[in-house]
Chains A and B, each alone.
Chain A
Amino acid sequence: MKAVLFLFALVCTLWQCVHAQIPSEQEQHVTSFFNSHGGSTSRHTNNWAVLVCSSRYWFNYRHMANALGMYRTVKRLGIPDSNIILMLADDTACNSRNKFPGCVYASAARDLDLYGDNIEVDYRGYEVTVENFIRVLTGRMDPSVPRSKRLLTDDRSNVFVYMTGHGGNEFLKFQDNEEISAFDIADAFEQMWQKKRYNEIFFMIDTCQANTMYSKFYSPNILATGSSELDENSYSHENDRDLGISVIDRFTHHILRFMEGVNKTSQATMQDLFNVYDYEKFMSHAGVRSDLFRRPLDQTYITDFFGGVSQAEVMSPPLSLSPSSNEGSEPENVPESELPVELDQSLDFTSWISSDTNATVRSADEVYGYDGILHELNSRAHAPKQGENMQSVRAWVSTGLLVALVGWVGSNTT
């Protein structure tokens, strides 16, 4: 008897294992969607950015400008404020020494105010600490921390982590009283990997001896770059005569200049970015670490990390519950006219967001004021005809009963 039970249990477990290996048809479809271009496209569906400026005080203006320049770039390319964690000491724009109050400039020509109106700093002042930074990355926070201060990534998020400040051999100074080591960041990234909190990470750091900071990473899917080697300094780019301090660092300045030529539909790759690196311009050896990164750099788009651009496919309606035409259109280079525009047929996600596609829904008599989503959902999910018939039969029967009751009472009264 016991032997029989044991055999049965064994067979069950084996069957489960075997079953688990064979992906379901849905899983296969999803994987093929993401692998549609030979596996070099990124599998991410959302983008996040963590931008940290670890210095404070007026003379570290350039670090603030570094972080703010990255913030503006990342926002311009499509990552919304809700997906950006910006950690700044935020004491420059309204500093009493600032001759241009409320403004932070990244060039001596003062052509672009990086601070401006539309800015959301999540951790400011004394909140920029090592502990908060690691908590942001790992997600281990007190339940009272609001959503805007959380990194709510999942296993399909690409995260861009940018750090700037004063650093050294495998450490980075946080606000003059504590430091974070390369091991800490590496462990934090490993925690993220274990918890499936990222798809790919792009780590960029602009400090002195920056490349040492990424030397300790050991988790997969991390691409890292730094501004200077061990025993090298990273230099500032230019001084502003009116402000009296340096306004930007060389590494970040040249990266930002490169990014100015990048927009949301750009096909520029990370290799193009790294080709900008030049010792003559930086006065330091900027480095790249790509051994942990699975994809080739010349097929990894800039917008995979810097922008909020993701792959979308417009499919024909799944009436037969099978994907018919896989028009895998990359959003970058398909012109508007080629996309199928049958708005009332296709599950076009953009029409859900914009609210002016109500016209297809119902007659003007019954405008509910809703998006028509329900209508589209219902016209898809063809409930079995039998169920609907049963419902209407029940409704008619109940109405009939009511009428009969009223009639019976009426006839008995007189």
Chain B
Amino acid sequence: MDFGLVYPALVAGRLLLAFAPLPDALKHDHQLSSPLTSYPRLQEGVYLFQHGIDPYSGGLFRHSPLLLSLFSTALPLNKFTSACLWTACDAISAWALVKIWRARQRVSQSSRDSLIAAIYLLNPYLLLPTLALSTSTIENMLFLLSLMFASQGQSSPSLLALALLVQLSLPSAIFIVPMILLLLSDPVSRLASPREFNTYLSSILAKLGLWWYFFTEMFDHFRPFFLMVFSAHLLIYVLPVCLKFQHDILYATYILAGVYATFKPYPTLSDPGLFISLISLFPETYQYLRYPIVTTLLHLHSALLLPLFHHLWLSQGTGNANFFYASTLVFGVSNGAALLDAIWAGLRIAVGNLPEGYELIQK
């Protein structure tokens, strides 16, 4: 299908959807937006700022000052402009994804372009947060723009976008190292290239407990320690992943996006959404994914359970926090399983097709 037809059609469809009368509850849903990305809080902060009150003095507004200055001056926030703006962000992100693919394949146009755009624009994990006007859409856009400019070798725009992204959300700092490495290298796929590799694919049994529940159960005495541990946890993945995938930094960035989605302090659905959409850039790994069906089913499972248990706990009152916590654990497991699949596939692909009678073992 022609990219020039599909892409505008999808964007138009998105725009129509954004203008459709949506339930207001979408903006307040906790899976689609976190306190750091919530639209009502953004509005509140802008309002306070415009009336001379420091928006950071209460605990409500946690967005970055960049958004504050932008939305209080140049871009007023109302139903019309926010719908247009968020759709534009998603459109730019999809376009950036397509450009990354083209840079990777070294073509100016390919048949998969429309599929990639569709994967991004129709992904429910990304569609719903955009409809909820979560600012994670803007963060995703900045990430993909940075990645696009890095793939094209343009360092200034890439680093500017990255700087803006880190301003908006601090855990994105894990992308600094891989982005710089990507600028220094070529984004062409070298996953399947023969190279010497050491098979210490040790079991990455990630600690998939989620921050919030863990921290509710913790003694106050240990809070600073565990905050440090959880924050450092994100950082420890950067170097090993970049070292392991130094031949293909784009893949390393993709893995780190998955790590970011699973372990960041205030995750929402848009972070695994980004990770899942990025998988469209690496079709060569599909046949080497270890347990794709399990991962897909886990994701489906958790995607169905999360809103159900949230409703049961908070709206209906017949469940309790443990239901929701269990479903977030399943969600974390599904993210981790996707990460494991991606890492496995990235490494396995180098081995290639095994001749009859041979088996892959770990030493």
Contacts and interface: CB of A to CB of B under 8 A. Distances in A.
**Does A associate with B in a complex?**
yes
Interface of A: 365-366, 368-369, 374, 378, 383, 387-388, 391-392, 394-396, 398-399, 402-403, 405-406, 409-410, 412-413
- Identify the interface centre among A387, A394, A399: most chain B CB within 10 Å of its CB: A399
B157 A409 contact: yes
B68 interface: yes
| Interface secondary structure of B, over-half rule | helix
A383 B160 contact: no
Given A395-B68, A395-B69, A402-B70, A366 B43 contact: yes
B73 interface: yes
Contacts of B207: none
Contacts of B195: none
Nearest to B154: A413
Contact of A406 (B43, B69, B160): B160
B160 A409 contact: yes
Nearest to B40: A368
Interface string B194-211: 000000000000000000
A378 B53 contact: yes
A392 B71 CA distance: 11
Contact of A365 (B44, B53, B79): B79
A387 B52 contact: yes
Contact of A366 (B70, B72, B78): B78
Given A391-B52, A402-B66, A402-B69, 12 more contacts: A365-B79, A366-B43, A387-B52, A395-B68, A395-B69, A396-B73, A398-B65, A398-B66, A406-B160, A409-B156, A410-B157, A413-B154
Interface in B215-244: none
Contacts of A398: 65-66, 69
B49 interface: yes
Given A395-B69, A399-B70, A402-B66, A413 B51 contact: no
Interface string B74-118: 100111000000000000000000000000000000000000000
Contacts of B77: 366
| Interface secondary structure of A, over-half rule | helix
15 contacts: A365-B79, A366-B43, A368-B47, A369-B40, A387-B52, A392-B50, A395-B68, A395-B72, A398-B65, A399-B73, A409-B156, A409-B157, A410-B157, A412-B156, A413-B156
B160 A368 contact: no
A409 B48 CA distance: 32
Contacts of B79: 365
A399 B69 contact: yes
Contacts of A403: 74
Contacts of A383: 51-52
A368 B41 CA distance: 9
Contacts of B160: 405-406, 409
A391 B40 CA distance: 21
A369 B49 CA distance: 18
Interface in B160-182: 160
A413 B148 CA distance: 14
Contacts of A369: 40
A409 B157 CA distance: 6
A410 B154 CA distance: 10
Nearest to B66: A402
Given A391-B52, A398-B69, A402-B69, A413 B157 contact: yes
B139 to A, nearest CB: 16
A92 B79 CA distance: 62
B99 to A, nearest CB: 14
B55 to A, nearest CB: 11
Contacts of A405: 160
B36 to A, nearest CB: 18
A388 B48 CA distance: 11
A378 B51 contact: yes
Contacts of A365: 78-79
